[in-house]
Structures are given as structure tokens and as C-alpha cells.
Structure 1
Amino acid sequence: MSNIRQVSGDERLHTAFTLYPYAFDKTPAADAAGELRDSLRFHEGNHTLVVEEGGRTLATASGIPTHQNLRGSVVRMAGIAWVATHPDARRQGHSSRLMHRLHRDMLDTGHLLAALYPFHPSFYEKLGYVGLLLNRTVTLSPQGLAPLLNVALPGEVRRQDIRDGFEVYRAFQRRLLSERHGFMFTPDYRAARILDPADRWLATATVDGEVAGLLTYYIDGYGGCLHADELLYTSALGRALLLRFLAQHAYQVSQVTITVAPDEFPETWAPSLAVRTVTEASFPTSPPLMGRLLSMDALQGVRCGPGRVEIEAVGDQLLAGRYLLDGTGGSIDVAAAGRGGEKATLTAAGLCALAYGVLDPLDVVARGLGEMSQGAVVQLRELLPRRAPHAFGKG
């Protein structure tokens, strides 16, 4: 009979870590054991579970203690990762059991949301997850940004090694956590991965001494490509300063690639800018992030429109029940149902799609994730209008 237990520290090496190389890396790899031992420090605060039978590890999953912005409220979130099952033990329900246990464990420690990159989206939708919006990859020539070189902008951009700028990098991410819906902030031990092997430059835009934007990047060679990570900024001025910095690399690199948020419009950055913007979902290598609520408490006090609706959440171990969501005071009050109002029946995935703002109520119905009256559609649109989560800050 298999059992689930938590493992930590070096014990991960001969339990959970025995499954990682085969599931996630090129195999066989002679140096896999050494690389995993070196990576232990990046797992130190993870909540790691394993399924064992007769002393053999059959499956594993981990929760990373993270924070996420949900419509302006910063909430503790569990980043679910390293879900793997031995090939001989697949399709036997181990992953489902692990996920249910991991959800409850993380909820017991105050985590009200969960997010993950799925290997099988329909599997996770049944567990209450909904797909979020993909970030976009922008490719352009730095010469296309040349008009920005002629614009007088207050502020400056400083370039430094990521090791030297790590504290600035983390402080700015922490600031964006409080400002951007969907933004995630991982623990320090996890974010420190960027320091090993520290192969990034950090460009920091400041205005009047305050950081207004930053960008990590590397250059793959003369005449090659400048590969930028997430374009992070708090104002159009911060963004413009960083784009002007990229323009200064004309004749050094032939192109620039940047990761931007789903609601960014690069074609407006400069006149006559030739740009290619790509959003590509593929499985299992490039899936959209999926997220879910672990508790209705995640919605308590969230800023909202003036809607009022009674919902019944069905088919989920954690969220099942009847609730009244009342936004007439400008923030959601979650109470027991029974005071009347328009009614909707939602799966956990349908409820989470509305909470994150990725689906309209009618999309929820069309996807088979819920049923509701026309009045409930109107109320839910007011209460939880569509928004684009900025799923940045993954660490």
C-alpha cells in the first residue's frame, strides 16, 4: 500500500530528486546527481511530498511559498512545481492524490491561491485550475527604436551585473507585487537562481532617483541577439527609458527579443517599428500558467465593481458550497448564501476564471464551466470584470 509523506533537506536527493532528471531533463545524464545536489539550496523552503511504496518513490510534487496579486490584493500563493511520476506508476491516481494533499497542506499554512505550469491542462482543470493569459515574445531590430534616441527624457538607465543589482531587482519586483494584478513574488531562496550562473545584465531606469523600470538580459554575441527577460516598469516613462537603452545597441546586435505582458502593444513603441509579437502555447514545453483559488477567503476584500450575486461552487473538495458575493461597498464581501440575488452555479475552474479575470461569464458558460441566469451574467461582469493578469515575477 502506498503512502504520502513530506520530505525535506538532503532526504530529497534519494526520494523526490530520483524522479526529476527522467521527467524534466535530457536523459541519461551522467552529471544529473551532482547538479541536483547543487540545486538543493533552491528547494530549501519547498513543501515537498512523495508517494512511496516498499521504500520506493513512485511520485512527487512540491509547493513553493509565493505571493500573488489578485485584483489589487496581495495573497499568499502556492507555486506548484516538480510534479512527477515514475513511468511504471503512471495512470494510477498518484498525481491526483498528491495534488489534493498538497492543496490542503498549503491551505493549512495560509496559502489561498495556487498556480502551476501544466503538463496536461485538462487534468488540472478537473482539479479546479484555469488557464491564465500567456505573456508575449517580441522580436525587433534595435534600429527600429532609433526615434527614441532623439526624445529628451528625464531620467537615466544604469547597467550592472545582476549580482551587483540583485537587491534593486528584488525590491522593484516587491513593489510591482502590490501594483500589478497577477504578479508573483517568489521567496529569496528561489529567486536566487538568477545568481547562478549570474549570466544576466541588469538595466535599471530611474527618474528623480526612483526606479521606474528594469530589465534583465544577455547578449549572445556580436551581430547576434540581445535576449531580454520580462519588461518591467511602473510608468510609460520607465518603459521608454528602457526601450531607448535597447536602441543604443544598434550595430552591435541584429535583433532584440523581449518578454512582455499580454496587454502590451509593441507596435506603438515607435513610428514605423517593424516588430513581430508572438504568443505560442504548446504542451508540455510552453503551456500557459494555470491558477486556482484554494479558499474563498482569497476573494474577501478584493476591489471590485458594484455587483451582487449568489454562487454555488460544485465539484471541488475545497470550494464546494453556496456563497453570496457582495461588491456594493467597493470590495467583495464573501458571506453565506441565502440573502437573495441573482444565482450562478460554477465549477472551481469557472469560479477561478472569473476571479482572475481571464473569462467573461458567457465564456464560462460556453466552456461548460458553469450555468447562470442572464441577470447573474450582468452582475458578475460588474463584480469581476475581465482583467489581464501580469503573470510575471516567477523567480
Structure 2
Amino acid sequence: MQVRRISAEERLSHSFPLQAYAFEGSPAPAATADRWRDRLPYNEGNRTLVAEDGDTVLAAVTAIPMRQNVRGQLLPMAGIAGVVTHPLARRQGHVRKLLTALLGEMRDEGHPVSALYPFRPSFYARFGYAALPKRRTATFSPGDLGDLVRADLPGDVVWERMGAGYGAYREFTLRLARERHGFAVFPDFRDARLRDDDERWLVTARVDDQVVGAAAYKVTGYDGELLVDDLLVTTPLSRMLLLRFLARHVDQVSRVVAGIPAYELPELWGTDFQVTVEARTVIPSGNAPMARVLSMEALAGIQTGPGRLTVEVVDDPFLKGSFTLDGRGGTLEVSSAGGAAGATLSAAGLSALVYGVLDPEELPLRGLGAVPADAAGELRALFPRLVPHVVADF
């Protein structure tokens, strides 16, 4: 078996057919090859590794060079996608070998964190990934927001096709990535597909000519649903401006289904407001995202609390070792350490702390480390709980 990186053109014959078999209906029609070629520009900067046996591609994995905010620092992030195996080569360890090689290459090229949407979380937990909150959906009737239609709000909204408004939308999401923990953005070559496909409406809330909120959406049909990808807001006013726009669809659609961050509380958006808030995980097609740290040293500078502790990370090819973590200056300082460690962590346990999704006391209960009570206090001070807002679905 040979492992190698394939060229962009080779994706047409090596990785795309396996991805289509794994994630789409099949057999694919003959015209599918043309669709694959149309997708090449949106994959040009990706890194794809394949395992081959002669002329047969046994498995393939891909990394998208993205960026993600981790506790106030916008870091290069490896978005893992297109993890596929030939149907006659499954359960033979090919993906394990490829994924380890791919993560190592991305780490060495300066991507200290990685994220993905798993087909089965337990599989990726063995690679050091920790689960993050899944985006919620808020489902409601636009009629329940009728009071907003008559509200006198400072600011206005702009309504247009995504192709026309893409520039402002892209600039706004890049701003959110600089400000919002967990927020991830595609590279320009991949994100441009949103503009080029032009398959969504875009409404932006603006105050003093600045975009303060945005929603990309589709309408399924008359008396159908208005489907918002993500309701992206920065202030209560920006939320109200977008909700007022949605309220004006009362005689067009029966309900609105809007993606929202896990920390949003739609039940507080209005009085007599009926809403269903839901987050469902489904194996294999609807799991929550996962993320992991690939480089301890590269975390230096992220925002932390006033804790200090030496930890040992075990059983991981990228993080194994002892490190002193010091947040007493407001940002993390990382140094290699000798001597006894105050806590022992797995890569997944460390990642859960960095992303803010687990309390230190939970780690031993989940088999993610050995954390004495005093060490838990220091880790809790270092890494206060946070709710990551992950929107990019890759």
C-alpha cells in the first residue's frame, strides 16, 4: 500500500468517485463527471491523501485550510472532510493511517487546531477530537413576530441575492471569526462557491452603513418554510432587524426554521412567542462537530484565566509530553516542563478544556484524564467554560 498526496486533477479519478459513493445516491449518472470538474476550483487549495494498491484507490482523506477563533485568537485550522474508503477495503486501518499522516502534515505547516463533522464520534474521539455543541434550530411562525412589523427601529435591512451581496457577507463573517470563539471560516477559494452558486437570498441588517447582522436563506415554496442557514447577529438591535424582516413573510410561509448558536435563547425573543428550539444528533449524517488541538506551543496567546498548572498529555503523536500552562497574565504561556505533572490528560481531554466544552472534573468520568481536585481548580481558572459557535459545515 502506498500513501501519497494527489494533484487537483487527480481528484476526478481518485477521491471524488469514492466521496460520491459514500455520501450520495448511486450509481451516479454519466453527467456526474462534469459536476465533479465544476467543483475542482473550490478544492484547489485542499490537501488530499490517498492510499493505493496498484491502480486501486483504497481510501482518501482531505484537509481544508480554514481559520477558527480559539479563545480570541484566529488560528489556522485543518477542516477534515471527504474521509472515505473503498467498499472492499473498509475496516482495514487505511483511514487511520491516512488521517494520522494528514494531521501531521497540516500541523507541521502551521495548523495548530483541527475540526470536522464525524460520521461516528467515537471513531474520531480516538484521534483526540472532542465534541462541540451542535448548532440549534429555532422554528416559529412569522405571525408570532407581528408586533415587530410596526416597530420603529434605528437601522435598516438590505435584501438581495447572495451573488450580489456576497462581498458584504464575506466581510461580515470574517469579522465574526475574529471576534467569536469557535467561529470558523473557509478559505477564499472554497467560500466563493456560495457566491458562484447564487442559490440563496441574503438579508443584512445595517446600522450607520455597517453590517451588524446577516441571514442567508431559501424559501421552499408558497405556504412552505423559510430556511435560514444561520441567524448571525451581533447586537439585540441586529437580531430585531432581521426578525422584523422575517415577520413580513407571514402570508407567504407557514414557518421559519433558523439556525442559531447553542447559547441563543429564542424563547426570550418576544412576548407570546411560540418557538421550538432543537438540536438533534443522528449517526451517521447529523452529528455535532468535533475539534482537537494539534500543537500545544501554538496555543500561546489565547485568552485564559489566572491559573497555572503543569500537565502531561499522553497517548497522542502530536501533543505527547509535559507542559506548564500559565494564564496569570491574561493570555496563555506554554513551556515544556520536566518533573511531576499536576494532571494527566488525553488529547481529547485537553481539547475539550481549550474549546471550553467540559469542566475539568468531567474528564476522569469520561476517561479523558486523571485530574486531582486541586488541579481541577487551576484548570478551571485557566480554561473557563465557553460555548463555541461553529457554523461552517464541511
Report the TM-score when normalising by structure 2.
0.97
Aligned position for 1:22? 21
Map of 1:204-283 to 2, 5 A cutoff? 204-283=204-283
- Counterpart amino acid of residue 383 in structure 2: L
Give the residue type in structure 2 aligned to 1:256: V
Aligned to 1:108: 108
Distance of 2:83 and 2:371 partners within structure 1: 34
Q: Report if aligned partners of 2:138, 2:260 keep a CA contact under 8 Å in 1.
A: yes
How much has 1:393 moved relative to structure 2?
3.9
Provide the rounded CA distance (Å) in 1 between the counterparts of 2:324 and 2:348.
Answer: 18
What is the CA-CA distance between 1:97 and the residue it aligns to?
0.4
CA distance in 2 between partners of 1:71 and 1:375 (Å):
24
Q: What is the DSSP-based 3-state SS (H/G/I as helix, E as strand, rest coil) of the residue aligned with 1:82?
A: strand
Cα distance in 2 for residues equivalent to 1:172 and 1:92: 44
CA distance in 1, matches of 2:148, 2:324: 51
User: In the alignment, which residue of structure 1 is the partner of 2:381?
Assistant: 382
Uncovered stretches (5+) of structure 2, i.e. residues with no partner: none
Structure 1 unaligned regions, length at least 5:
none
The secondary structure found in structure 1 opposite 2:179 is coil
Cα displacement string for residues 108-139 of structure 1 (whole angstroms, at most 9, x for unaligned residues): 21111111111121111111101100000111
In the alignment, structure 1 residue 350 sits paired with structure 2 residue 378: no
SS at match of 1:164: helix
- Say whether the 8 Å CA contact 1:21–1:32 is kept in structure 2: no
Query: Is residue 129 of structure 1 aligned with residue 129 of structure 2?
Result: yes
CA distance in 2: counterparts of 1:70 and 1:280, whole angstroms: 25
Q: Is the 8 A contact 2:305 2:381 kept in 1?
A: yes
For the 8 Å contact 1:299–1:355, the answer to whether it is kept is no
Q: What SS does the corresponding residue of 2:74 show, helix, strand or coil?
A: strand
Give 2:56's aligned residue: 56
Q: Within 5 Å, give how 1:54-203 maps onto structure 2.
A: 54-203=54-203
Q: 1:326 — aligned with what?
A: 326
Cα deviations by residue, 1:308-348 (Å, 9 ceiling, x for unpaired): 111100000000000010111111100122487x7110000
Q: Is the 8 A contact 2:45 2:189 kept in 1?
A: yes
Letter of the 1:151 counterpart: A
Task: Report the identity percentage.
Answer: 47
**Superimposed CA distance per residue, residues 9-66 of structure 1 (whole angstroms, 9 cap, x where no aligned partner):** 2111111122111111011121332221221111111001110111211100011000
Q: For residues 80 and 247 of structure 2, what CA distance do their matches in structure 1 show?
A: 38
Question: How many Å separate the matches in 2 of 1:136 and 1:215?
Answer: 15
Aligned partners of 2:241, 2:363: CA distance in 1, in Å? 40
Distance 2:18 2:339 in 1: 51
2-side partners of 1:20 and 1:35: how far apart? Answer: 13
Name the amino acid aligned to 2:185.
F
Indicate the larger mover: 5-14 or 281-290.
Answer: 5-14
Asked if the contact 1:147/1:271 (under 8 Å) is kept, the reply is no
Task: Supply the distance in 2 between the matched residues of 1:330 and 1:197 (Cα, whole angstroms).
Answer: 43
- Code of the residue aligned with 1:347 in structure 2: it is S
SS, match of residue 88 in structure 2: helix
Separation (CA, whole Å) in 1 of partners of 2:338 and 2:305: 21
**SS of 1:254 mapped into structure 2:** strand
Report the residue type matching 2:179 in the other structure.
Answer: E
Residue 394 of structure 1 and its aligned partner are, at CA, apart by: 4.3
Distance 1:18 1:256 in 2: 36
- Residues 176-231 of structure 1 deviation map (CA, whole Å, 9 limit, x = unaligned): 01110000011112112223431211101000111110000111112111111111
1:380 partner letter: L
Q: In the alignment, residue 226 of structure 1 is paired with which amino acid?
A: L
Please list the CA deviations of residues 210-268 of structure 1 after superposition, one character each: whole Å capped at 9, or x if unmatched. 11100001111121111111111221111111011111111111100000000000001
Between the aligned partners of 1:372 and 1:363, the Cα distance in structure 2 is 9
CA distance in 2, matches of 1:303, 1:138: 31
Contact kept, 8 Å, 1:185 with 1:394, in 2: the verdict is: no
Shift of 1:298: 3.5
Q: Aligned pair in 2 of structure 1 residues 393, 116: CA closer, same or farther (>3 Å)?
A: closer
Indicate the residue corresponding to 2:43 in structure 1: 43
* Aligned residues of 1:213 and 1:234 also touching (Cα < 8 A): yes
CA distance, structure 2, for counterparts of residue 237 and residue 323 of structure 1: 44
